[in-house]
Amino acid sequence: MKQTPKGIRFNELKKVCELYFGSPRQSGSSHCIFKTPWPGDPRINIQNQKGKAKAYQVRQVLLAIERMELEHGA
């Protein structure tokens, strides 16, 4: 994911987010919004664009996972 954030499938990214952050607060629309244990960035808001995740959102998820692992040992 780190090396090629552009070709990640939305469903794969959603599964990773659910593993680290639980069920999305909002889903069913074009976006899935996940709650993080900190206020502000990096926020977890992913968007399905023709079955793929947007590359900048993949990078945001990776940053959030890094922060989660550093702060909470996840």
- pTM of the entire structure? 0.85
Query: Can you give the pLDDT of all 74 residues of the chain as single tens digits?
Result: 877 888 899 999 999 999 999 999 876 677 899 998 888 888 899 999 999 999 999 999 999 999 999 988 75
Number of domains in the chain: 1
Which pLDDT value is given to residue 28? 67
Q: Which neighbouring-strand residues pair with 9?
A: 52
Cα distances from 72 to residues 27, 33, 48, in angstroms, run 25, 20, 28
Domain that holds residue 23: 5-72
Which pLDDT value is given to residue 53? 93
CB 58 within 8 A of CB 74: no
